[in-house]
Amino acid sequence: MARKSNLPLLLVSYLLGPALVRSCSPLPLVINTWPFKNATEAAWRTLASGGSPLDAVESGCALCEKEQCDGTVGFGGSPDEFGETTLDAMIMDGTTMDVGAVGALRRIKSAIGVARKVLEYTTHTLLVGESATKFAESMGFITEDLSTDASRALHSDWLARNCQPNYWRDVIPDASKYCGPYKPKPHSILKQEDPTYKEKDHCGHDTIGMVVIHKTGHTAAGTSTNGIKFKIPGRVGDSPLPGSGAYADDTAGAAAATGDGDVLMRFLPSYQAVEYMRQGEDPTIACRKVILRIQKYFPNFFGAVICANVTGNYALGLSFPSLTFCVTISAFQSISRSTTAGSH
């Protein structure tokens, strides 16, 4: 049912799997993973005030970082094994194909802002770790502790549970029972592991991935996340990797992914979705093909991809039962739709 609103926001909930939702809208278009409505609105306001697609992506992701969306974006969430929160982010201009990204960024709250500076003021694509922090300081960003009482409590509880869950295997002591430090098992006692993929935490991968299509057809995409809880320090997921976390190309469209980054990055799902659209596939089919390809190797994989082409068609593909995501378009509608597994 249509109703009046200052912002043309659709909060869309879908129940399905393996994967597809399809819709069409007039341009411009803003779409992002998960029900991060305030971020969607921030991006839309930036467009409405004359900002570029790149500006819109940055403002949307920046607000999510500030609001600590779901505890999985921005400061104060997902502490690593040492209890530190680090951030990953990426932003891509689909007109110029320029990208800026940061991984394992320490002590800087605005990861998407630093990623934008990498794009604008360097010829590099990705900066990581402490060196990325030094770059951020040179760009005028202030260093501050990213831990909060909540993240410190999460870490303390994890230690009290003998560091469960964690992401180690084939080590001594037994990582399924004890905390580290760990050493590799001798080859003589290694056992053949069950190759079946085991997801650790379905609620720990809520990256914001955002796609913006301007009324002119120009595109941009970006991501921001604090990664997965209790990751091994130094781990970087898919979010800051162009083609994995997000991808944009004015000749076809844009896409962004969310889910288990350690699996997603092996398949470059955002790049692949855009390539399918370049070949003429509808976003629905593009998203579906991407998810099915990953599930061929990892049947229990947890993740989703949003896809939009330059004519305003957009779709969602996901590997799990349900996902809420946000869309803004140039004419307000409110829709809620549910489908059963396997329906189209």
Which positions are annotated as active-site residues?
A: 207
In Å, what is the CA distance from 80 to each residue of 52, 152, 191, 250, 327? 35, 10, 28, 37, 32
Contact (CB, 8 A) for 68 and 62: no
Cβ-based neighbours of 328, under 8 Å, separated by 6 or more: 7, 8, 9, 10, 29, 30, 31, 40, 41, 43, 44
Partners of residue 29 on adjacent β-strands: 213
Contact (CB, 8 A) for 118 and 127: yes
Q: What is the rounded CA–CA span in Å between residue 101 and residue 113?
A: 10
Partners of residue 336 on adjacent β-strands: none
Burial, 144: exposed, middle or buried (Cβ in 10 Å; 0-12, 13-18, 19+)? exposed
Q: 231: which DSSP letter?
A: P
Q: What is the rounded CA–CA span in Å between residue 58 and residue 221?
A: 9
What is the torsional sign of CA 90, 92, 97, 100? negative
